[in-house]
Chain A
Amino acid sequence: MSKTIEISPVTRIEGHLAIKVEVENGKVAKAYIAGEMFRGFEKILRGRDPLDAQHITQRICGVCPVEHGMASIQAQEMAYQLTPAPNGVLARNLLQAANFMMSHITHFYLLSSPDFVDVAMIADYTGSDPALVALRNWVKAQLSSNSVVPGGPFLPRYAAEYLKDADANFTMLRHYLEALEMRALAHRMGAIFAGKLPHAATLVPGGITEKVTALKLSEFRSGLDTLRDFIDQSYLPDVVAVAKAFPDYFTVGKGCGNFMSYGVFPVSAGSATKLFPAGILLDGKLQPVNVEAITEDVGSSRYSSGSGLGPYAGETVAAPDKAGAYSWLKAPRYNGQVMEVGPLARLIVGSQEGQNAALTSAVDALLKDLGRQPGDLNSVLGRHAARALECKFIIDQCAQWLDQAVPDEATFTDFSIPESGRGYGLTEAARGALGHWIDISDFKIRNYQCVVPTTWNCSPRDDRGVPGTIEQSLVGLPIADAQNPIEAVRVVRSFDPCLACAVH
């Protein structure tokens, strides 16, 4: 007997997301995932000055603006045949790295941990940590108040099994409070080179408008030390604690099994070697990324424009009432194949033989620590672990960039905008592979297309009817209680969906 469960909206992700699952015999048989908000950035960009693009496209998303800005200026640098100043590249790396850490910490603690932590247990806290005492007193007062939503925004919640161990809950809650400070610290570090965050002011083709000074480098380094402590002593152990308490989540949430990374973070300015290398893992075989293989279907998407187009030829014509369409996302495909992108994809692609040996040994060590097999990484917990592990690598790399940067040397190389030209910028956002394509004519943007991480992960069915990777990852998932389908949201949130990005 089949039953349909709709979870709309899915909260604690960025943006407007709805999922619908058909459950048969207690397990998901079919899943549909829908983006529910459209703005039309690609149409709004047409006819604008090309240099507006990095400002406009950053506003696609308040969580990953820096990465959109980076994709945009790299697309322009290709179109302008421009090599950015080395110091500018290093400052941009630091800025992007800071945003990655802000995003990962926000995702695990603010967005995901409430699915695992028993927040109500704080009422039983008898310890003396001032922050937890204050939280306990607040929760108790809220629960006995006449507030319409007592304990909001932390309550209400699904009735489900949460962490049972009291101390583990208190530790995670304490770290939730610290995570708020740590994510703001990461943003402060980014703002040293961004001017402000979210929405970096300083990103320009050719480098960055901000200077690199000894003081700025020191300020960044100081923040890095604090973040390193948090990652090592809180974030990684907390992920391990959740993994040990919920081992079943190593066996659910398995995606399509194909992984893609465009590669990100050159280990030094001008270096072709990336901290997280590029590559496609298709049917278990590693291959280089071929940009020409990227297309977007719109058969299940609310657009009347052409389907199966490459980004340079891409179009975005809204058709909100299109028959058979159920999402505002397009369905990107690589050689017609579904791909998973994100920290797990970066880790799996990057740890293949011949890529980054340090990543390979870190993955081995993590699996050993957790007592798991490599295949278990393709799971809810594998994605959380990949995100935390990635932070550690980023911090160590930041320290190297700080050493490489030369105070007071130029951060910007001048350029002129050609009458016509085109280029693409491929980078990685916290959530995965991000590409922008710009086509300039008469000094203006003729066409602009973005193919965004969550567009890959939250993709609806393509023109052949093949579901996207999250849709696939939900199939087979046991759902114990249709009124409280926490299993489904745990799976979906493990991908860290960003819907403002995905639809744009």
Chain B
Amino acid sequence: MNTLNRRSFLELSTKLCAVMGLAASAIPRLAEAAEELASGNAPVLWLQGQSCSGCSISLLDAEAISPVQLITRYINLSFHQTLSTTTGQQAVETVNKIISAGGYILIVEGAVPAGMPKACTFGGEAFGEQLIRAAQKAKAVIAVGSCAAFGGIPGAENNPTGAVSVPQYLKDQHISTPTILTPGCPCHPDWLLGTVTYLLKLGMPPLDELGRPKAFYSRLVHDQCPRFADYERERFARTFGDEGCLFKLGCLGPITHTDCSVRPWNSGVNSCIRAGAPCIGCGGEQFAARAGMAFITKKRAAEKQG
């Protein structure tokens, strides 16, 4: 019952290959995937825990595959709290129907308040309970964004809710549904789109030891940094707005595994380091984790004190 011709599929698939960095030889297979998906066979259930909705907002900024294309040609977005027309009791029933049918991709945005279940509820049910039900019946789970992937700010030191990441929570609950992490604060739309579409057709993408798709998270920000030559020549920015490498302003590019340096944001308009802002490691495992670990500034403040 698909409504697209073969040529449109090929065009979309070419875009997808560009996003994933795949060889052109994958295009026919991906085109087939798009056709399969258009028949409504790829339900996606999107749940939000302790989140800011930033990863959803980021996905709406996608260009490689537009949000409309994604929803009408790639997946059946069966429920999303910010986008779904359904509301109230009808929304609860819709989600429950999806869960009992099973076989969907579960995308989770936000952390889980494991130590204070009432800190996040959906239709009166603790989010943690809902997540257990939903993850058990999912084909795979994608923990989108740093809160879901690593705990992020809700799970940072001194947090009052005992918030943990999605994989940690599922492990503690002995749920073994395959789980992929696409961290980032927010997650870059390409990272999520590339992962979802790969998963739907080709199966599990190659993952690193933390469960992140290698296609996006295998290199350090620093290694592909537009200011790398400044680093090599030891030309360091001394304050904001200066030319040069931002390392001495506390840039966390040397310990952060994302491909932002070669995959700028908002349709390629800009990126943090290009805009003179030191990397704060928002896609990293330790993002915001400890109160004593300032992003940019500890060095600056300390220098000023000295």
* Residues of A participating in the B interface, judged by any CB pair closer than 8 Å: 6-16, 18, 36-41, 43-44, 46-52, 55-56, 59-63, 65, 106, 110-111, 114, 119, 131, 134-135, 137-138, 141-142, 144-150, 152-158, 177, 180-181, 183-184, 187-188, 190-199, 201-202, 204, 206-207, 209-211, 219, 302, 317-318, 320-321, 328, 410-412, 414, 416-417, 419, 443, 485, 489, 500
With most chain A CB atoms within 10 A of its CB, the pick from B63, B118, B156, B241 is B241
A141 CB contacts on chain B under 8 angstroms = 1-3, 38, 40
B270 with A7: CB separation less than 8 A? no
Tell me the bound Cα distance from A155 to B84 in angstroms. Answer: 7
A194 CB contacts on chain B under 8 angstroms = 270, 275
B153 to chain A, nearest CB (A): 5
| Extra contacts besides A40-B154, A59-B54 (20): CB < 8 Å | A10-B87, A11-B86, A39-B161, A44-B157, A47-B158, A55-B296, A56-B288, A59-B288, A61-B52, A62-B186, A153-B83, A153-B85, A153-B86, A181-B66, A187-B266, A194-B270, A197-B265, A198-B186, A206-B240, A417-B301
A150 with B270: CB separation less than 8 A? no
User: Which of A63, A148, A184, A196 interacts with B63 by CB under 8 Å?
Assistant: A184
B76 CB contacts on chain A under 8 angstroms = 142, 147-149, 152
B116 CB contacts on chain A under 8 angstroms = 38, 318, 320
A152 CB contacts on chain B under 8 angstroms = 43, 76-79, 84, 94
B68 to chain A, nearest CB (A): 6
Q: Does B50 contact A (CB under 8 A)?
A: yes
A62 with B275: CB separation less than 8 A? no
B166 CB contacts on chain A under 8 angstroms = none
A302 CB contacts on chain B under 8 angstroms = 118
A60 CB contacts on chain B under 8 angstroms = 52
Q: Does B233 contact A (CB under 8 A)?
A: no
Tell me the bound Cα distance from A464 to B158 in angstroms. Answer: 32
A148 CB contacts on chain B under 8 angstroms = 43, 76, 78, 97-98, 101
B89 CB contacts on chain A under 8 angstroms = 6-8
A195 with B87: CB separation less than 8 A? no
User: Which of A114, A195, A328 interacts with B274 by CB under 8 Å?
Assistant: A195
Per-position 1/0 for B283-304, Cβ under 8 A of A: 0000010011011111011001
**Known interface pairs A40-B160, A153-B79. Does A180 touch B266 (Cβ–Cβ under 8 Å)?**
no
B57 with A62: CB separation less than 8 A? yes
A195 to chain B, nearest CB (A): 3
Q: Does B32 contact A (CB under 8 A)?
A: no
A52 CB contacts on chain B under 8 angstroms = 288, 294-295, 297
A119 with B52: CB separation less than 8 A? no
Q: Does B170 contact A (CB under 8 A)?
A: no
A207 CB contacts on chain B under 8 angstroms = 240-241
B111 CB contacts on chain A under 8 angstroms = 39
A41 CB contacts on chain B under 8 angstroms = 153
Q: Does B131 contact A (CB under 8 A)?
A: no
Q: Does B210 contact A (CB under 8 A)?
A: no
A107 to chain B, nearest CB (A): 11
* Residues of B participating in the A interface, judged by any CB pair closer than 8 Å: 1-3, 38-40, 43, 48-58, 60-63, 66-68, 71-73, 76-92, 94, 97-98, 101, 111, 113, 116, 118-124, 127, 152-154, 156-161, 163, 185-186, 239-241, 264-267, 269-277, 280, 282, 288, 291-292, 294-298, 300-301, 304-305
A50 to chain B, nearest CB (A): 8
Tell me the bound Cα distance from A134 to B3 in angstroms. Answer: 8
Which residue of the partner chain B has the closest CB to A51?
A: B297
Closest 9 CB pairs of A and B: A62-B54, A195-B275, A51-B297, A196-B265, A209-B276, A49-B294, A201-B277, A201-B272, A191-B266
**Known interface pairs A157-B85, A187-B61. Does A61 touch B53 (Cβ–Cβ under 8 Å)?**
yes
Cβ contacts A to B, 15 pairs, < 8 Å: A9-B122, A11-B85, A13-B82, A43-B160, A50-B301, A52-B297, A59-B54, A63-B57, A147-B76, A148-B98, A149-B94, A152-B76, A320-B116, A417-B300, A443-B305
**Known interface pairs A114-B85, A210-B275. Does A9 touch B91 (Cβ–Cβ under 8 Å)?**
yes
Tell me the bound Cα distance from A443 to B305 in angstroms. Answer: 9
B305 CB contacts on chain A under 8 angstroms = 419, 443
Tell me the bound Cα distance from A195 to B221 in angstroms. Answer: 15
A40 with B1: CB separation less than 8 A? no
Tell me the bound Cα distance from A195 to B269 in angstroms. Answer: 8
A195 with B265: CB separation less than 8 A? yes
B153 with A36: CB separation less than 8 A? no
Tell me the bound Cα distance from A134 to B71 in angstroms. Answer: 12
A33 to chain B, nearest CB (A): 13
**Known interface pairs A49-B301, A210-B277, A211-B241. Does A183 touch B60 (Cβ–Cβ under 8 Å)?**
yes
Tell me the bound Cα distance from A155 to B83 in angstroms. Answer: 11
B50 with A153: CB separation less than 8 A? no
Which residue of the partner chain B has the closest CB to A146?
A: B40
Which residue of the partner chain A has the closest CB to B119?
A: A38
A51 with B301: CB separation less than 8 A? yes
**Known interface pairs A9-B123, A12-B83. Does A198 touch B39 (Cβ–Cβ under 8 Å)?**
no
B88 with A154: CB separation less than 8 A? no
B301 CB contacts on chain A under 8 angstroms = 49-51, 417, 443
Tell me the bound Cα distance from A144 to B68 in angstroms. Answer: 20
B72 with A138: CB separation less than 8 A? yes
A453 to chain B, nearest CB (A): 15
A110 CB contacts on chain B under 8 angstroms = 60, 82-83
Tell me the bound Cα distance from A60 to B185 in angstroms. Answer: 11
